[in-house]
Structure 1
Amino acid sequence: MAGQTDTVLNAILMGIDRGELNPGDPIDENALIARYGVSRTPLREALLRLEAMGLIMRQPRKGAVLFKPSLEEFLAILEVHARLEGQAAGLAARRMPSQLAGPLNEVVAACEAHAKNKGDGDLDGYYALNIEFHKLVGEASGNPFLLDMIKMNARKLLAYYRARYAHPGAIAQSAREHREIADLILSHKADEAEALMVRHVHFDRVTVMDLLAALG
């Protein structure tokens, strides 16, 4: 049973990470049962765990749906998430393992190449690069508990960060900031890296309202 529960849980988490599931999307229990060959009990256990994480909500007569924040919920989650990401960058600047320096530079270079060669195009491609950049910074912090907290909060907002790249110039700005943050981390400038990462991750209230509207 535990194995079946983890199968469904990981499938839904992967769907969120890849942008295949968006805020407010219903969870089709019958489709999950058919696709993964699981019974209803482990499926319900997986949904209970996701609900405890704050990633799904149960609505009367509608079943489970992906968490969709209100404006105030979005701002509250964002405030915490930006600080966690900033803390990871600050710790990474103090603890960056030598074996991660190369991969960090490579993903930043890939972000820059995307911005130069594709401009505002291929949002999915840039979204994947952005996920990898933040993953590497989190791993470089040397704190797996912090990384888990970042992942949990990020999954509530990933669809909105992805939608942000549809705004003209957003990819180019993101790539520039990735380079600046990476340079600060690799130069061991912890306070500056933390502060810039907080600004990089944060949105102002008007932008948040735009993103909420964009995803209906």
Structure 2
Amino acid sequence: MDTPKKRSETLRESIEELIAVGKLAPGQHLDETVLAEQFGVSRTPIREALIQLASMGIIVMRPRRGAIVAEIGPQQLIEMFEVMAELEAMCGRLAARRMSAAEHASLMAAHQACKDARDAVDPDTYFYKNEDFHGQIYAGSHNAFLEEQARVLQRRLRPYRRLQLRVRDRLKRSYDEHEGVVNAIIAGDSERTVELLRQHVMIQGQRFADLVASLHQLKIAPNGERSAFSDALA
């Protein structure tokens, strides 16, 4: 049965996905009426979905001015990736100690799916398979609280993690880094896993320069419309 709560949660997931893939850009105004028409619902579940997204930091609710997609400046972005790197490293340390043989097999399957997307030079598919790969590690930590915190921040950073994958050669480098992480986890080498995951997620040096240079791709044009380049990313 499609209860009001379930409907608003489904809408939240749908709107969150539009933000993650760049169809709703940072700073973009979210019109409740337009969204209600788009999804064929009333404004009430849309408003509830937006409140949920605001509580996650994905959008900002402004009194009397409506909601906008949250924007993250370069300094805040680097700080968030620093925390993400540490959360992933913690998950990896525990996963190397605690994952079962069946979980190793699932991790390998997720790794193979990333390889298939890499070989197809398909950054959009790789983005989703990459999320699954990291999700296997979060779950493999067998620490529900840590897994929840990692997933929350991962979702907050989705548009920016996706954008990274469009930097030249990043698909190949990402997959190669995954390979080392998989080997370390299966070997039970927790400290090596920590080191590799930290390096994999941390945004620094050239990777940070590339990301900052690409941030304009997520922005809105001065007339309030998304740029043609942003549309091409969607």
Q: Same fold per TM (> 0.5)?
A: yes
Structure 2 residue ranges without an equivalent (≥5): 220-234
Matched, 1:33 2:31: no
Q: CA deviation at 1:202?
A: 1.1
**Residues 99-132 of structure 1 deviation map (CA, whole Å, 9 limit, x = unaligned):** 22112112212323443x33xx321121122111
- 1:38 CA displacement: 4.0
CA RMSD of aligned residues (A): 2.3
Q: Give the aligned partner of residue 212 of structure 2.
A: 209
Tell me the residue number matched to 2:147.
Answer: 147
Deviation at 1:60, TM superposition (A): 6.8
Does the 8 A contact of 1:33 with 1:39 survive in 2?
Answer: yes
Letter in 2 for 1:11: S
| 2:66 maps to 1:81 | no
Shift of 1:214: 3.5
Does residue 65 (structure 1) correspond to residue 68 (structure 2)? The answer is: yes
Task: Give 1:59 deviation, angstroms.
Answer: 4.6
Distance 1:22 1:139, change over 3 A: farther
Q: 8 Å contact 1:74–1:208 — kept in the other structure? A: no
Q: Aligned residue for 2:13? A: 10
Instruction: Assess if the C-alpha contact under 8 Å between 2:30 and 2:68 holds in 1.
Output: yes
Displacement of 1:138? 1.0
Alpha-carbon distance change, 61 to 195 in structure 1, aligned in 2, over 3 angstroms: same
Partner of 1:48: 51
User: Shift of residue 35 of structure 1?
Assistant: 4.5
Contact 1:26 1:66 in 2 (8 A): yes
User: The residue matched to 1:155 in structure 2 has which SS?
Assistant: helix
Q: Distance in 1 between matches of 2:103 and 2:18?
A: 27
Of 23-32 and 142-151, the range deviating more from structure 2: 23-32
Name the SS of the counterpart of 2:188 in structure 1. coil
Mapped to 2, the partners of 1:92 and 1:52 lie a distance apart of 29
Alpha-carbon deviation of 1:61?
A: 6.7
Contact 2:164 2:211 in 1 (8 A): no
2:163 aligns with: 163
CA distance in 2, matches of 1:89, 1:209: 27
TM-score normalised by length of structure 2: 0.80
Contact 2:82 / 2:203 at 8 angstroms: preserved in 1?
no
Give 1:37 shift: 4.8
Please report how far the alpha carbon of residue 7 of structure 1 lies from its aligned counterpart in structure 2 after TM superposition. 2.9
C-alpha displacement of 1:173? 0.6
1:11, distance to aligned residue in structure 2 (A): 2.4
Name the SS of the counterpart of 1:188 in structure 2: coil
Deviations 1:179-204 (A, max 9, x none): 10011011111111012101101111
Aligned twin of 1:190: 190
Say which SS state the counterpart of residue 142 (structure 2) adopts.
Answer: coil
For this pair of structures, how many residues does the alignment match? 213
1:94 corresponds to which of 92, 97, 101:
97
Alpha-carbon distance between aligned partners in 2 of 1:55 and 1:133, rounded to the nearest angstrom: 23
Deviation at 1:21, TM superposition (A): 4.0
Distance 1:157 1:27 in 2: 19
User: How far apart are 1:3 and its partner, in Å?
Assistant: 3.3
- Offset of 1:84 from its aligned partner? 0.8
1:36 CA displacement:
4.4
